[in-house]
Chains A and B, each alone.
Chain A
Amino acid sequence: MNYLTLSLALIFVLIPLLLSKALKLELEKDTIIAAVRSIIQLLAVGYLLQYVFDAENMLYILLMVVLMIAAATQNARRKGRSIQGITWKLVLTFVVVEVLTQGILLGLSITPPTPQYIIPISGMIIGNSMVLSILFLNRFTSEVEDHEDETELILSLGGTPKQAIHRQLITSIKASTIPTIESQKTIGLVQLPGMMSGQIIAGADPVQAVQFQLLILFLILTTAVVTSILLGYMSYPTLFNERMQLVKNRMKE
């Protein structure tokens, strides 16, 4: 695809703009901002990746991963700002997920240690981990608030903080990971995954594309479960003090 054909793709931006104008939906400003931002951001990333790929320097790869983790942390921490030390908990979660998955991929030579593989896969892993973190934190904070009576009941009967928060923790872990598991059950039946579609359009062998997509799906499965569990078990102790008391103001927005 060249820039001329790409510019023709702007027709697909014009259609919603015209419809919005005609129906007075007032979506024009946001549509233009979204379109301009995607053009700038993706082109910048494209050129940056080109540079990193050409340089073939591990330091650049590392820097890219660090940038991804920083951006994901910045995005997810807003949802969990009521939990003490959430920034470092998120950073640690993303680092563990990245090291675990890339360790297996590179260690078992499933993917080659080149930036073309490491960077896009890291992006998918960290991005997915970020979404899972947001889903988990959203659910966990509301579970804790909604079931405060139950938490205090268990504490008052001589339960430990872990016992007192167990139900809320498990519910939140399940609730945040179920969409990933469910979506994988119907994958390929309704829509083809984006990465696989991209590879097929770019001329790759469909079976090869499917194999790669499966790898990514399984990675995402691990990422989802590990992210929720790790974040959950790091978060709940901060809600209690050393006297096993539920510290309410640690949960305040």
Chain B
Amino acid sequence: MPVTVKEAVRLENVTYAADGQEILKQVTGSFPEGKITTLVGPSGAGKTSLFRLINGLRKTSSGDIYVEDKHIEKYHPVELRRKVGIALQSATMISGSVFDNLTLPLKLQGEELRREKALELLDLVGLKQDILQQNIKDLSGGQRQKLSIARTLVNRPDILLLDEITASLDRVSQQDIEELIVKINEKYGTTMIWITHNLQQAKNLGDYTWVMIAGEVVETGESSLLNDPSNEQVRRFVKGED
């Protein structure tokens, strides 16, 4: 990574084990501020676990994580989770309307989202404003995913962790989300760390990329590295042999 770019997240020898299994092994590296970094690798590489550690939903077994040069344990958990937003492939919703879900982050702070702000967010993520009072059960997969991102944005996170958010979507919805991520990144300067299994997506949209295999970071650099990886394991993964 270029030394001139400020680090949004830095990991130092991070290991994580759960149920007696080592999921992350001595992960060291950083994610540059205001950039889109993609995280690629086969299933079981520990990518989602890494997200849960950065967001503070799980505790590292050893090693240190810094967000904007401050150790994550120095943050209050609530402060950290508002600063580092996370959107998952499952796009979990609470029962109720689109508005109930959008206002959730503020409701947790004892506040309510203004209607105008809610409509603005729907507009930003490319959802029609008239769905605001619609029951979330009536939303399509793509709409839920967009809503999940909009909901995360309510907290105005500096860093956004996106976990396979386009994995189960059709090509059109996938493209919409890709454009949305780039738009948010450009508009707010939000640091994006994006887990994707779509290598084309990683090459086209990511500024940087991390390749993780079996709990280890095997190669990092500009996204173009995926065109010609130097590491043999990465080469095999890119070719689809892994």
**Chain A interfacial positions (CB closer than 8 Å to B):** 149-150, 152-160, 163, 167, 241, 243-246, 248-249
A160 neighbours in B (Cβ, 8 Å)? 78, 108
Decide if B172 is an interface residue (CB 8 Å cutoff): no
Convert B22-61 into 0s and 1s, putting 1 for each residue whose CB lies closer than 8 angstroms to a CB of A: 0000000000000000000000000000000001111100
B92 neighbours in A (Cβ, 8 Å)? 149-150, 152-153
Contact call A156/B81, Cβ cutoff below 8 A: yes
Contact of A159 among B19, B55, B108 (CB under 8 A): B108
A163-B108, A243-B73 known; A156 vs B78 contact (CB < 8 Å): no
Contact call A245/B58, Cβ cutoff below 8 A: yes
Question: In whole Å, how far is B127's beta carbon from the nearest beta carbon of chain A?
Answer: 19
A152-B57, A158-B108, A158-B109 known; A244 vs B94 contact (CB < 8 Å): no
Contact call B56/A243, Cβ cutoff below 8 A: yes
B56 neighbours in A (Cβ, 8 Å)? 243-245
B55 neighbours in A (Cβ, 8 Å)? 156
Contact call A244/B78, Cβ cutoff below 8 A: yes
Decide if B86 is an interface residue (CB 8 Å cutoff): yes
9 contacts between A and B (CB under 8 A): A154-B104, A156-B57, A156-B86, A157-B82, A158-B82, A163-B108, A167-B94, A243-B77, A245-B58
A157 neighbours in B (Cβ, 8 Å)? 81-82, 85, 104-105, 108, 151-152, 155
User: Considering the chains assembled together, what is the distance between the CA atoms of A249 and B86 in angstroms?
Assistant: 23
User: Considering the chains assembled together, what is the distance between the CA atoms of A167 and B104 in angstroms?
Assistant: 14
Contact call A158/B105, Cβ cutoff below 8 A: yes
A241 neighbours in B (Cβ, 8 Å)? 59
List residues of B (132-159) whose CB comes within 8 Å of A's CBs: 151-152, 155
Decide if B13 is an interface residue (CB 8 Å cutoff): no
- Residue ID in chain B nearest A243 by CB atoms: B77
User: Considering the chains assembled together, what is the distance between the CA atoms of A152 and B82 in angstroms?
Assistant: 13
- Residue ID in chain A nearest B93 by CB atoms: A153
B94 neighbours in A (Cβ, 8 Å)? 150, 153-154, 167
User: Considering the chains assembled together, what is the distance between the CA atoms of A167 and B58 in angstroms?
Assistant: 22
User: Considering the chains assembled together, what is the distance between the CA atoms of A244 and B78 in angstroms?
Assistant: 8
User: Considering the chains assembled together, what is the distance between the CA atoms of A153 and B56 in angstroms?
Assistant: 12
User: Considering the chains assembled together, what is the distance between the CA atoms of A22 and B123 in angstroms?
Assistant: 74
List residues of B (98-123) whose CB comes within 8 Å of A's CBs: 104-105, 108-109
B105 neighbours in A (Cβ, 8 Å)? 157-158
B151 neighbours in A (Cβ, 8 Å)? 157
B58 neighbours in A (Cβ, 8 Å)? 245
Decide if B175 is an interface residue (CB 8 Å cutoff): no
Decide if B168 is an interface residue (CB 8 Å cutoff): no
User: Considering the chains assembled together, what is the distance between the CA atoms of A214 and B73 in angstroms?
Assistant: 55
Decide if B224 is an interface residue (CB 8 Å cutoff): no
Q: A159-B108, A243-B77 are in contact. List 10 more A-B contacts (CB 8 A).
A: A150-B92, A153-B92, A154-B94, A155-B77, A158-B79, A158-B108, A243-B73, A244-B77, A244-B78, A246-B57
Decide if B200 is an interface residue (CB 8 Å cutoff): no
A248 neighbours in B (Cβ, 8 Å)? 18
B57 neighbours in A (Cβ, 8 Å)? 152, 155-156, 245-246
Decide if B129 is an interface residue (CB 8 Å cutoff): no
Contact of A245 among B19, B59, B82, B104 (CB under 8 A): B59
User: Considering the chains assembled together, what is the distance between the CA atoms of A116 and B11 in angstroms?
Assistant: 69
Which 5 A-B pairs rank lowest in CB-CB distance, beginning with the nearest? A244-B77, A159-B108, A158-B82, A149-B92, A153-B92
- Residue ID in chain A nearest B51 by CB atoms: A156
User: Considering the chains assembled together, what is the distance between the CA atoms of A153 and B155 in angstroms?
Assistant: 13
User: Considering the chains assembled together, what is the distance between the CA atoms of A153 and B57 in angstroms?
Assistant: 10
Question: In whole Å, how far is A15's beta carbon from the nearest beta carbon of chain B?
Answer: 51
Question: In whole Å, how far is B185's beta carbon from the nearest beta carbon of chain A?
Answer: 20
Convert B151-176 into 0s and 1s, putting 1 for each residue whose CB lies closer than 8 angstroms to a CB of A: 11001000000000000000000000
Most interface-central of A153, A156, A241, A245 (chain B CB within 10 A) = A156
Decide if B90 is an interface residue (CB 8 Å cutoff): yes
List residues of B (65-93) whose CB comes within 8 Å of A's CBs: 73, 77-79, 81-82, 85-86, 90, 92
- Residue ID in chain B nearest A152 by CB atoms: B57
